[in-house]
A = this chain, B = another copy of it.
Amino acid sequence: MKAPADLAATVTWNEQGLAPAIVQDAASGRVLMLAWMNAESLRLSVAEGRAIFWSRSRGQLWRKGESSGHVQTLHEVRLDCDRDALLLRVEQTGGIACHTGRESCFFLRLDEQGWQAADPVLREPQQIYGGAHE
């Protein structure tokens, strides 16, 4: 998409210059993950048509799929009423968003015993990363 110039100016970034970005599978509706964006990662995501986040732990841009191949192709970008949270509707390459090899990072489900891993591992992380971690 050709990005409008004031794309990032409308967003209310937090004190670290970040906003949470929910990633949803556009086809299935499954919520895949939550990551963080800064203004640059949002502009780059729109310009390149793929999800690019700000990695808080590494302090650098994170092109989702750069080591796993599990690129997220953007279908739609939305902003909420407070303008401080983003929603990316994507096509998830490989059907796996989580570094554990599961479809979604939200695989822990609460029941009366506590948080239980409720979704299957679709591909072993060693097979995805070959030793390197995204």
What is the interface of chain A, defined by CB distance below 8 A to chain B?
Answer: 1-4, 6-7, 10, 20, 22, 24, 28-31, 33-34, 46, 76-83, 85, 87, 98-100, 102, 105-115, 118
Contact = CB atoms under 8 A, between A and B. Distances in A.
B115 A79 contact: yes
Q: Which of A3, A102, A105: most chain B CB closer than 10 A?
A: A105
A80 B34 contact: yes
A109 B87 CA distance: 9
- Chain copies in the assembly? 2
A20 B7 CA distance: 23
Q: Which of A6, A85, A98, A110: most chain B CB closer than 10 A?
A: A110
Nearest to A21: B34
A77 B46 CA distance: 31
